[in-house]
Structure 1
């Protein structure tokens, strides 16, 4: 008597080895079909990616910076005729723009250091786009003023050197709106006086801080090495100086640079005011205007 197999397929006339081969064949064919589809879809894409590089991804959208609510006092129209002093200071029009582009361009130019003329402070002069000035005359006026014997470099204390790059002092001529919004308080706190506010040289392409809705974290412009000068004040002159606009412009420069060098505002009780008296405001009775840090220095040499 022949013994039958007691397996799963026993009694059905099905041979196990033949079935196994069939199953394996089906699985292999299915796998090959999936692989062919995957390769036909992926390989051309991978090849294109290798040839063409990664596809650019969309840049994240940039939210607009918060605008500071600026309230400018009324600005009287400047109706006088321009004169030689205006030309020397780079003033070419009395039609002053109230608000410029908010971007800035550095005036090209480099001057050389002078041996034994004192420690160097590099100066960059920036003008807001949309503000019209004679850049050549402006640079000459600013640098001549800063290196005057009566200035902050008097008697070899400092020398000011013009640069287009990294600067210790950035003198920025801007529209009234930009000055108020970017430098609401251009003065230096008394706690930072004594030279401790002297900044590190900066090569920033943005010479004035961005407007911020968080004044609690605003760093004074002077601490950043910025001397903001309103083109309106530069053109019209400060009322305390009357028609002597040249003296007014010298004061604007020397007062602002004084803050960057670490000098705070001071008060005047009588006599000739210190250059660090805020002379944009009326002076107390008995005080006279003064635009120089060392007004009695010898200018004959």
Structure 2
């Protein structure tokens, strides 16, 4: 009987070793990088893989045509198709870049001029690393398009007076502003005035009012002093 119990122990030990070996191989072959919880937006997985939106649309606006696609990191709970439609509406807004001759835009499923990627904070930091440290909080514009931090997409910003859906206009308008050639940032033009969309509003408003649009309701560009 003692010999039989020893065989059983050896069998269980081998089974446990095989199980942990399989788990290690699965993680090395493309498992989740890690789980993190931002305390408000829920768990955010960082697999580093993306789903491409298959949605397409007509070109709109005035100026050089820029074809763009939308990708969303897997496991975020954000639909790539819905995000693409939302971004399309943002770019077509009457106070946006397209409506004022700063470029025309078209949502495509392949061969884009640039790509908008919604990514978890870990992945956003990795994609944005060539242009700076985004610290798990910021968005960026890189060589092949725009990287949107999932935390900002879901939660908005503590400096922005409005819900996350309104803040998404600021995210897209600011980063696409860089994409169409506006390289520098702007500062607050005066206390109580609307902040320029090319101001890094998440870092503070300096007395300005938060604003998500490049142009005001009268069609005037919301400008400010150079900040860089």
TM-score calculated relative to the size of structure 1: 0.53
User: Which secondary structure does the structure 1 equivalent of 2:100 belong to?
Assistant: helix
Q: How does 1:211-290 map to 2 (within 5 A)?
A: 222-263=141-182, 264-270=184-190, 271-284=193-206, 286-290=207-211
List runs of 5+ in structure 2 lacking aligned partners: 1-27, 29-35, 133-139, 220-228
Higher relative contact order (CA 8 A, sep 6+): 1
CA deviations on 1:46-70 (whole Å, 9 max, x unpaired) are xxxxxxxxxxxxxxxxxx9xxxxxx
Residue 181 of structure 1 corresponds to 126
CA deviations on 1:63-95 (whole Å, 9 max, x unpaired) are x9xxxxxxxxx96412xxxxxxxxxxxxxxx42
Residue 13 of structure 1 corresponds to none
Offset at residue 281 of structure 1 (A): 1.3
Between the aligned partners of 1:157 and 1:259, the Cα distance in structure 2 is 12
Whether the aligned pair in 1 keeps the contact of 2:145 and 2:179 (CA below 8 Å) is yes
Offset at residue 117 of structure 1 (A): 4.4
CA deviations on 1:147-179 (whole Å, 9 max, x unpaired) are 112111123442210111121221100000111
List runs of 5+ in structure 1 lacking aligned partners: 1-63, 65-73, 79-93, 188-220
Whether the aligned pair in 2 keeps the contact of 1:227 and 1:257 (CA below 8 Å) is yes
Between the aligned partners of 1:171 and 1:297, the Cα distance in structure 2 is 29
Distance 1:76 1:113, change over 3 A: closer
User: Higher strand proportion, which one?
Assistant: 2
Offset at residue 186 of structure 1 (A): 5.5
User: Which secondary structure does the structure 2 equivalent of 1:121 belong to?
Assistant: strand
Whether the aligned pair in 2 keeps the contact of 1:126 and 1:170 (CA below 8 Å) is yes
Residue 54 of structure 2 corresponds to 108
> Over aligned residue pairs, what C-alpha RMSD do you find?
2.5
How many matched pairs? 175
Offset at residue 297 of structure 1 (A): 4.7
Whether the aligned pair in 2 keeps the contact of 1:143 and 1:162 (CA below 8 Å) is yes
Between the aligned partners of 1:154 and 1:119, the Cα distance in structure 2 is 13
Residue 32 of structure 1 corresponds to none
Whether the aligned pair in 2 keeps the contact of 1:154 and 1:294 (CA below 8 Å) is no
CA deviations on 1:182-240 (whole Å, 9 max, x unpaired) are 203757xxxxxxxxxxxxxxxxxxxxxxxxxxxxxxxxx63513211111111111111
Whether the aligned pair in 2 keeps the contact of 1:225 and 1:260 (CA below 8 Å) is no
Between the aligned partners of 1:113 and 1:240, the Cα distance in structure 2 is 33
Offset at residue 292 of structure 1 (A): 0.7
User: Which secondary structure does the structure 1 equivalent of 2:212 belong to?
Assistant: coil
Counterpart pick for 2:67 among 119, 122, 142: 122
